[in-house]
Amino acid sequence: MWLADQWNEYEVIDTSDGEKLERWGNYILVRPDPQVIWKTPKNLPQWKSPNAHYHRSKKGGGEWEFFQLPEQWDIHYKELTFHLKPFSFKHTGLFPEQAANWEWFGNLIRKANRPIKVLNLFAYTGGATLAAAKSGAAVTHVDASKGMVTWARENATASGLKDAPIRWIVDDCQKFVEREIRRGNYYDGIIMDPPSYGRGPKGEIWKIEDAIHPLVQLCSQLLSKNPLFFLINSYTTGFAPSVLSYLLGTEVVSRFGGQVEADEIGLPVSSNGLVLPCGSSGRWQSEK
């Protein structure tokens, strides 16, 4: 498992009975997590006095219960700054486990010793975009949500990356990729974090089981003659790491060689030393 274990301002303190107890900077949150199927005693005092608690509904969805939590606050990862706020379906605007992937491709970018162009699809609030840009890459950030792209730009400004070479694109990811192929644009690195289900800006329906393979096929056509990496991340239940490995092996290794690794990503739990699994990633990189 690949661990995001270099955080100072975030931690999973404890887990039990479908929930995780987290520290986000100066604030304690309790949020649901479907991986937490065990029921251990909630003895830590933070369980009883969080700043906010997201309660799942048996009918689906849920709602926040707030105690003492600002509308927005910041968290830092090394030199990056992220604005956080509680919003729809338990989220805060950041997935801390992705730092494991930021470290991986960031090291590749820094060691490349050449200009690197990166395409980040389904780019959300820009964690991977900022990590790639901070490592020296020129990044194209694509997300169908105008609000998410605006949030990502604010994170970039807060991280001292306002003038970094980042293109901010509000668009359906697949349609953007198709246009980039026609335009003859190429990238040295591709990052994608597709949702299980979603809609584009014009109502386009995305179902990962139907759309992921065709999209990887298209993206392989955008790789430069000397590509550096290709990262696929998935939170979809039932998508084993080996599925991502197979996709990359079929569409990328067959054309460019290189090597593929796939595994779970996770966060250490500080109360007991265990690890909370947080999805799967497939990583392709060129031959070392």
The CATH number of the domain holding residue 61 is: 2.60.40.1180
Average pLDDT of the residues in 70-89 = 95
| Residue 91 counted as domain residue | no
Beta strands in the chain (DSSP E): 2-3, 10-16, 19-24, 27-32, 52-56, 62-66, 73-77, 80-84, 117-121, 138-143, 166-170, 189-192, 197-199, 205-207, 229-234, 259-268, 275-285
Residue 227, pLDDT score: 98
Greatest alpha-carbon pair distance for the chain in Å reads 58
Are 56 and 118 members of one domain? no
Percent of the chain whose predicted confidence (pLDDT) is above 70 = 98
Domain co-membership, 52 together with 121: no
27-32 and 52-56 strand pairing: parallel
Residue 196: the pLDDT is 78
174 and 51 inside one domain: no
My answer on whether 36 and 123 are in the same domain is: no
Residue 77 lies in domain? 2-84
37 and 161: one domain?
no
Q: Which helix (H) or strand (E) holds 192?
A: strand 189-192
Is 149's pLDDT higher than 80? yes
Residue where one domain finishes, among candidates 84, 112, 131: 84
Note whether residue 89 is domain-resident. no
48 vs 33: CA distance, rounded Å: 18
Residue 27 near residue 52, CB atoms below 8 Å:
yes
25 with 134, same domain? no
pLDDT tens per residue across span 20-63: 999 999 999 999 999 999 999 999 999 999 999 999 888 778 99
**Same-domain status, 147 and 76:** no
Decide if 52 contacts 70 (C-beta within 8 A).
no
Q: What is the pLDDT of residue 259?
A: 96
Q: Do residues 30 and 54 make contact, with C-beta atoms less than 8 angstroms apart?
A: yes
Indicate the residue among 33, 57, 84 that finishes a domain.
84
Question: Looking at 1-15, 130-144, 236-250, which range is the least confident one?
Answer: 236-250
pLDDT, position 171: 93
- Output the pLDDT for position 211: 81
- Where is pLDDT greater, at 119 or 212? 119
pLDDT at 200: 63
Asked if 134 and 164 sit in the same domain, the reply is yes
The answer to whether residue 236 sits within a structural domain is yes
Residue 208 has pLDDT above 90, yes or no: no
Q: Is residue 37 part of a domain?
A: yes
Is 121 domain-assigned?
yes
Give the end of a domain, one of 59, 84, 109: 84
Residues 138 and 57 reside in one and the same domain: no
Output the pLDDT for position 60: 78
Number of domains in the chain: 2
Query: Which pLDDT does position 239 carry in this prediction?
Result: 80
Q: State whether 116 and 210 are in the same domain.
A: yes
Residues 6+ apart with CB under 8 A from 228: 108, 109, 112, 116, 188, 189, 285, 286
Say whether pLDDT at 288 is over 70.
no
Q: To the nearest whole number, what is the mean pLDDT of the chain?
A: 94
Q: pLDDT band at 195, cuts 50/70/90?
A: confident
Residue 117, token pair as written in the block: 């162009």
Q: 201 pLDDT exceeds 70?
A: no
Report if residue 272 sits inside a domain: yes
Give me the CATH number covering residue 270.
Answer: 3.40.50.150
Banded pLDDT at 198 (limits 50, 70, 90): confident
Nearest by Cα to 86 from 34, 35, 29, 125: 29
Any domain includes 90: no
pLDDT on residue 244: 94
In a domain, 280, yes or no: yes
Both tokens of 111, joined, read 């060691």
